[in-house]
Amino acid sequence: MTAPDAIWTGGLPPETDYMLPGKPDDPEMRESASIWLLEEGGAFAFPRNGIEAQGAVWDRHRFDCNFAFAGGRVLRESTRGETRPSVGPDGRSNILGVGPFTFTCLEPFRKWRIAYDGEAFAGTVQQQIARAFSIYADQGPYDHPRVPVAYEVEITMAAPAWIQDYRPEKLSGMSEQERADAGSMGYGYRIEQMFRGEGTLTVDGATRSFKAIGSRIHRQSVRPMAAFRGHCWQSGIFPDGRAFGYIAYPLREGEVEEQRHNIGYVVQDGKLYPAKARNIPFLRTIRAGGDDVSVELESALGVTRIGGVTELCTFHLGNAAVNGCNNEQSGVRYSLDGQETFGMIERSSPAALCMIVD
């Protein structure tokens, strides 16, 4: 096993991709792992399957799983379960697990395995838009039908990691506004990395093998959300290896474009170039698919123009976890210089700014 170099890890030591060995001293400290997985032909997507572990409730990790299928079917689970030990048989702290759901770091910044064997509530994206299918942990009970769901996928990283490093030693010199924006991302560190993977999915009693692309996130941070006011986050990787991603927040009152929290990257020839997004498609229309989410990224390479149309959509309207904002977590069909791929979008806005169109 070859240790990844500093370019591949974004400058973080490889061991930062392992998990906390046990309950942290700080009750606000969180560890989180999630994937945004898209079947390479667009048949289905997992628009965020993730685990949130927080010191204050370490024995009952929260997990959220979204499954979206062509035609508008949506499956969702959002609950808490019994925490699994972080330390595996080989003595490494490489597992984040709860109940039916586990993330295992096989090689830091190189390979992970994700497995789920449980159930999920069944509905449609149209029901979500109508607020007739809203599933949140620590709420309920719900009377929607339940269906068994199981998958296992091994993912191999396909691009250098994009890092947000907001550990205490990195915060000195930031303005109060910059620190608040960093807090919405999380005081600590966050790893985002594109992948390709292979696995199996079982639903409705039928098992299928699949190939997938997507992004995975791993963070250890304290994340105060009081200042959260919405966001737009997109990423994707194309057949030729070019990739992109960014996260941007809406402008505050009186804030100018140069002050916007707007961070991103473009990958070309295996190198990650810092970038800023232009013409950002913040959430303004709620629709079950077909929304134009094209974006431009400005970097040392020039302006990279990426076409995008939403597919495989899920919504959480009036989401208490993001200060009551409307929230979209969806797949996107992206295009670049004649190539197409599937990627992700997550975006949120205050409900007053959003219009339901279908």
Instruction: Find out whether 311 and 332 touch, Cβ atoms under 8 Å.
Output: yes
What pairs with residue 163 in β-bridges? Answer: 191
Who wins on pLDDT, 178 or 330?
330
Q: Say what the pLDDT of residue 188 is.
A: 87
CB atoms within 10 A of CB 319: 17
Mean pLDDT in residue range 9-23? 95
State the Cα–Cα distance between residues 246 and 276, nearest whole angstrom.
7
Instruction: Find out whether 189 and 12 touch, Cβ atoms under 8 Å.
Output: yes
> Tokens for 56?
């204050």
Q: Say what the pLDDT of residue 179 is.
A: 62
> Tokens for 121?
């509530």
228 pLDDT more than 90: no
> From residue 177, how far is each of 161, 230, 260, 348 by CA, in Å?
26, 15, 10, 20
Instruction: Find out whether 310 and 295 touch, Cβ atoms under 8 Å.
Output: no
183 pLDDT more than 90: no
Segment 82-123, tens digit of pLDDT: 999 999 999 999 999 999 999 999 999 999 999 999 999 999
pTM of the model: 0.93
Domain residue limits, the chain? 28-356
* 154 membership: H or E segment, kind and range: strand 146-157
181 pLDDT more than 70: no
State the Cα–Cα distance between residues 19 and 95, nearest whole angstrom.
6
206 pLDDT more than 90: yes
Mean pLDDT in residue range 290-316? 98
What pairs with residue 214 in β-bridges? Answer: 37, 195
Mean pLDDT in residue range 132-150? 94
